[in-house]
Structure formats: C-alpha cells, structure tokens
Structure 1
C-alpha cells in the first residue's frame, strides 16, 4: 500500500505547480507531513491555493531562497522545471533526504504495466492514441504525466491488471532512475536548449526512458538519433517504425501500415491529416499492437479527431480556414504541420527563444508559406532564415513583423483570401507572452472568433 510507503515522512514539494499542488492534500491524507517551497512570492498565489497550502503544510517557504529549507525532510519531490543538480538538493541528499519527482516515484511503485512516451514532437498525440486504443480494447487504463492530471494521487486505485500510459518530457526524464515497461521515442530534434546545458544533455535525458534492460523500446528508424538508440538497445525487445524501410517492425506498404507481416491499418482511414500523424499511429501500433485488435486500431483511426491545439480547426470565415497549432514549439513540429496542408498558407510564427536553430526552417517556409506574420523573441531569426531561403530561390515572400499577438492575428486575417488557410504554428515556445501553449492557443481562438 502506498500509504505504508508515505508513513509519517516529512515530504518537501519543491515547486508548487500544476502537477504538484494536488499531491499536497494527498500526502497529508495518507499521514505525511508536507513542506512546500516555491520561488514565487506569497502575493503571486491566488487565495484558494494559499488557503489550501496553509491548511495542509507544516511549513511554507516562498521567494528566492525557497530551496534553502529542506532540513528535517525525508523526501523532496522536485518539480520538472527545477534542475536536479541545484546545490541545495545535493546538500539535502547528504543529510539523508531522497530526491525524486512525481513521475519517478509513480513508475517505481506502480503495480500496473506502464507505457512511457517521449520525443521532441508527437508525444501527446501518440500518448492519446495508445490510451484510446487500450480503452477501446476494454482494458482499464489511466493516462497522465506531461498530459492530464497527476498520476501519483491515483496510485491507490490502480491495480496489477491495469495499464498506465505516461507522456514524459525531457524535464521529467532528467535524472530519472527507473523506466516504464514499454518505452516509445517518437523522434529527437533540438529542443529546450534554454533548460538543458547542450543538445547532448537533452538527448541523454530522453534516453533515460529505457534504463531498465527489460524495457520494450519502440523507436523511429527514420530519425538518425532514435535509430542509433534502437540499435544500441540490445538487452530487450526493440521495435522500429519506418515510413520507408522494412525493419521487421512497423512499416508502410502500399498505403497500409503493417506490423511485421500483418496489415493493421489503411492510411486513408486515419481521420487526422499529415504524415507526422501517420508516424504517431505507427509508434502507437508498435507499442500496443500486441495488446489490442485491428478493429480497435481502426475504430480509433476513423473517430479520433486530434488533440486540442494541434492543427485544430477554429472556424471558417469568408472562405478562410483558421487553424490553431499552438503546440508547435519547434521548427520541426511546424514543418510537419505545414507539410500536411495541400496549399501554401498564411503562417503566424514566433515566440519565446529556446536557443534552437532556425537555419533550415527558412526552406520549409519558402516552400509552404505565401505570407509570413511574425511576433515574439524569435521573429528576427525566423525572418532572416526565410529571407535567405527566398533569396536562394529568387522568389518573393511577404513578411510582416508585429509588436503584439493581437496585431499578428489581424494582419494574418487581412493577408488571407477565400480558400486560404491561416495557421498559428509558432515554431517557438510561448513563455515570452503567455503562461503556456494552451493559453496561447485559447487566446488565438478567442481572437479568431472575434474577427
């Protein structure tokens, strides 16, 4: 029982974010004593959150020195956004504290089969597809991690016959020491270089998804890095998926997805557009093809309309379709969305700078964009890349720089004609203007609906 594990431990929660806040009452209910620490000052919390913390915590520490108060703590749950190598954590560990995170603790103690999904692009859709396929098969399953609600406070309701599907970010995998039973890596391209010290550290974090030699690994053969990872993983079952190569795993032949020699799904039956979504289905089939039927896969394919903020049709006005692809926080993700369109589009891009290169992104813009509207920190870099690509082609591309997000949406609308697509696909994170990509997408939808 997880209650026995908690006992009367003093548990510090470092970073009172979305994933950690529900754990406060959970640990107290099980008999634990909770210490909450957050960099935000007290006045930055809403009254409801403060009341919850004051009612349940034995100590509260806010402000710049929030990590200096772990004395007497048996365990520290680190928020994924706080690096594990902070000196205050090392000092607390020397004094006997255990440093972990919600997901690491959950995977270590979960009685059910666990399926973890990571990657630079496509992990949320792949996670959702796996969950929907398992649910259709009649299995009792749970989903969480970097998507949905926290998992740890549901652990007492999860049994050995259940399946848990977990989306895992590089932040959550950083310094993770346990692995799920099945690990899926959709792809790896440069991302989050504002958090990780370099690209290699980002790759190493992703590889922590399969530390256990018994983990089944599902990887993208068409991505150089994940292919090498799969080739190095010789301890247990490795399944490659590929659009072009028959590896004996999941492949495409005559517009049908095969698992080994067995036909599983016609590509034409997939409701959500784009070759990147075909790859997401291939990854999902590689992960749970032995746990679900072809009928289960087909049912999901023809009914699943996609996840919010992922090439989501907002509305059609005056013959112009507006799409919300706010999840696209990298050039590769935006490129995949643009390639899924059957025409050149009006693109709104730009946002927070994660220190990733836009050098090759200009070629995609030149090929798939008829009018480019830019906003945010990365606007100059995207503009330079697009101008270089257009110059090489000896063509032209209208590019507008905007001061506000509202202006960008209006300019994109004004540039579009009947039959056009206007797409918000920023190729950048949201944190320069918004709390997260969901807020950015929701504000985009509000602005579009007011046009």
Structure 2
C-alpha cells in the first residue's frame, strides 16, 4: 500500500460517502477528525441515542449523520467504511458493501498508511500491554518523543499531524486490529501465542493468521522479535521478510536475548553482554522477565543499557496486572483482572512463591481450562469461583492429578462482591489473595478494567 500524508488521505475522502461503525474509544476521535477535515461522515452504532449521554448531539452539531439502533448495519451504502476493532470483517452486511465497491478499513490501518515516524508494535496472547509500556517508557527515559496507542492508550491517527520523522510510535495490536492489516511496523514483537478469543475467531488457525500480519508486510530492513520458548511464535521465524531476534528464558541462544545465571544477556554477531540482572526487576514473575527480554530485543542498539537497569528497578507495572492493591492485617490483595485467559492466570499464579487464595471465573470465551486445573492444584490453597465459567473451572480442578478437597477447598458464589468478601474472610495474616479470573469479564462487567476497579473498591472498603 502506498504511503501518503494525513492531509493527502483526508483530501482523498472529500466528496465520498464515509461511514464509521462503532462510536467508541477508538472511533470517536476519528469521527471528529474526519468532520473537522470537511468529510461527510455517518456514525453507526447498535446502541440507541440515549446511551451516548450528549456525545450523539455533539457529533450531530459537528455535522455527522447518525445511524443508531439494531439496524445500524442495514443498507451500508458507503464508499469508505471504518470498522471498529472488535467487529469481524466478514459480517454479511460488510461483505455486501464490499461487493458494491466499498473500501473497508480501520483507524489503525490508516495510521500505518500515513504515520511519518518509526513504528514499534507488540502483539501476543499475554504480556502485550506490559511489554508495550516498557518499550515506550524506556524510549522516553532515553529522551525520545514517543506516542503510545493502538489497543492501549488512545487512537493515534488524530496525532499524526504533529509527529516528526525522528519520533517513535509504540503500539499494542490485538488480533482483531490485525485481521485486515496489510502493513507492518518497522519493529514487530510477538510475546507468545496460546488459545484466546475463540468466542470471536472461528478457529485457532484464524487467530494465529491474524497475528502473522504484524510482520508479513515488513521489508528486508524490518525486525521481528519472537519468543523462542513458544512453539507457535518461534515457528514464525522462517516466514519473516526481514531480520529476526529470538528471546528465551529457558535456553542460552547462539544469537538473541537469553537468561544466564540470573542475568538477561544480549548476544549478536558483533558482541555479547550482560544487560539486566533479574534481581533488579521490580515486577514479580517469570512472565515479566520475558516481557523485559522482548523489550530489550526490540530496543537493542537504540537505548543505553543503563537506562534499562534504572527503569526496571522502579517500574511497578500497569494497573490490573498483578497490581498490589493493599496490605491489610498482614494479607496482600492483588488485582490481576487483565488475566482473561488460562495462560495469563497461570503466569500470575507462578509469580508467587507461596500458595495463594484465588478468585477466578467469568465470561465464557470457549477456551479449555484443562491446563489450568493442575496449576491451581499446585499453586492455590483456597479457590473462590464466580461467573459463567465457575462450573467448568471447578471440573478442571477436580479432575487434575493430585487434587484433594481437603487441601484445596472450592467455593462457588455467583455474586462477584460476595465472592471477594468470602475470599477476604478466608485469609489469614501472611496470605495472598488474588483476583486472576482466567476469563473475560463480559458476564458481569463492560471490560476487565471495570472488573478490576470493582475489585479494588471492595478491597479498599475493607476494615
């Protein structure tokens, strides 16, 4: 796809019928930017007008047409359609529009088309947000002007006009954003891949294929950073059009980023050197060691090692990711609401040297829990289950080798607050209580942030 400036792109839309589907976090700034540029926009959303608390009226005052309610996808007679990231591109209504000649795109796809500076993007099943944040903050600490966006922060397309060629855009990209991507970043990072979002993706194969788009369109100067310890990600290496750097926590690599004697090393054709002692990393858990390894691999040669060491010693992590909420009467309460898959919860459980009291369960993404059962048996002293998946998780634990009802009591409480309070009552001084659901939140909450905030409010309310 040919690159253009944002001004050229906006000029190309003038006089065309443009629809933006989904009036949410990523698309509202897009709608406003298009309207300011004199583009005729129809904003479509399945929610009724009264759900937008004044936003609908604001968009209308700026010149937008609104198409709201259950028929928002009916008769999409437009030349250019921006889809919201979570919407499948093969919905019958979108396919019909494409057959009539419409162009289907998204805020992120256009961003890659017009971005004037270096792009670094991170995807994976787990660790995306933390790795993206580490990369962005390290670049800032080294004096770079950094823009953070994609699936984290805010949409960056409205910021493009102010970006300089020497700046860096650091992006977290979901499988949904990547499904229709036909451009790739200068530096691509895949943290790991495991079954996820199978409630939306038709198959694991489709999910993995979407992730591939983060590197398939790189040129020979592009860099792809892959997890050697993950069977799926390391299999991407032969497909990369450009350079590949592997990282491994489990084995010493001839070339790449690896762990040796408790220190993260970098080894390449030029030299090898120790970069970061694991003991200097404030964030707990092996998965956070891997997040640092991915960031170091992506930024090797771009920032001084001293900046990495100083940052790792003080970075306390991202909200809702094994976040210490408070210590009360000797009990530590952690919010790991981001853990919306079994692999994420497993990583959280392995972060602690002691057995924990776990609160889990939530919306059913149709991911199997068989791998979670043995991990809970090994790392949990008492289990509190809530939400749609409670029975499935309970079954996986009870069928795990070595499970003993006497050693691992399981309590199922559908009400989220009651489950949290029950876990609190079970805790003794020295215990760790962690919300790490292994499931999405949509059975009871809008998203994992709302779930985490609800957990924190309950914990802060304890006396």
TM over 0.5: yes
| TM-score in terms of structure 1 length | 0.97
**Secondary structure, in 3 states, of the residue corresponding to 1:419?**
coil
| 1:213 positional shift | 4.0
Q: 351, 354, 358: which is aligned to 1:343? A: 354
User: Greater shift after overlay, 273-282 or 171-180?
Assistant: 171-180
**Secondary structure, in 3 states, of the residue corresponding to 1:165?**
strand
- Please say if residues 377 and 432 of structure 1, whose CA atoms lie closer than 8 Å, have aligned partners that are also in contact: yes
> Counterpart of 2:324?
313
> Counterpart of 2:266?
259
**Structure 2 portions without partners, runs of 5+:** none
Distance 2:362 2:408 in 1: 20
> Counterpart of 2:34?
27
**Secondary structure, in 3 states, of the residue corresponding to 2:166?**
coil
- Please say if residues 24 and 56 of structure 1, whose CA atoms lie closer than 8 Å, have aligned partners that are also in contact: no
> Counterpart of 2:144?
139
- Please say if residues 142 and 165 of structure 1, whose CA atoms lie closer than 8 Å, have aligned partners that are also in contact: yes
- Please say if residues 125 and 280 of structure 1, whose CA atoms lie closer than 8 Å, have aligned partners that are also in contact: yes
Q: 227, 234, 238: which is aligned to 2:244? A: 238
**Secondary structure, in 3 states, of the residue corresponding to 1:263?**
strand
- Please say if residues 34 and 56 of structure 1, whose CA atoms lie closer than 8 Å, have aligned partners that are also in contact: no
User: Greater shift after overlay, 294-303 or 429-438?
Assistant: 294-303
| 1:436 positional shift | 0.4
> Counterpart of 2:7?
3
CA deviation map 1:103-160 (0-9, x unaligned): 1110121111101100000000000000011111111111000000111111111111
1:355 matches 2:366: yes
- Please say if residues 265 and 297 of structure 1, whose CA atoms lie closer than 8 Å, have aligned partners that are also in contact: yes
| 1:82 positional shift | 0.9
> Counterpart of 1:334?
345
Correspondence 1:186-335 to 2 at 5 A: 186-214=191-219, 215-233=222-240, 235-247=241-253, 248-260=255-267, 261-335=272-346
**Secondary structure, in 3 states, of the residue corresponding to 1:303?**
coil
Count how many residue pairs are aligned between Structure 1 and Structure 2: 448
Distance 2:100 2:10 in 1: 19
Distance 2:149 2:405 in 1: 48
> Counterpart of 1:420?
431
Q: 189, 208, 215: which is aligned to 1:184? A: 189
> Counterpart of 1:364?
375
- Please say if residues 330 and 429 of structure 1, whose CA atoms lie closer than 8 Å, have aligned partners that are also in contact: yes
1:52 matches 2:55: no
| 1:392 positional shift | 5.2
- Please say if residues 35 and 64 of structure 2, whose CA atoms lie closer than 8 Å, have aligned partners that are also in contact: no
| TM-score in terms of structure 2 length | 0.94
- Please say if residues 185 and 218 of structure 2, whose CA atoms lie closer than 8 Å, have aligned partners that are also in contact: no
| 1:33 positional shift | 1.4
Correspondence 1:35-114 to 2 at 5 A: 35-46=42-53, 48-71=54-77, 73-114=78-119
- Please say if residues 352 and 376 of structure 1, whose CA atoms lie closer than 8 Å, have aligned partners that are also in contact: yes
**Structure 1 portions without partners, runs of 5+:** none
| 1:95 positional shift | 3.0
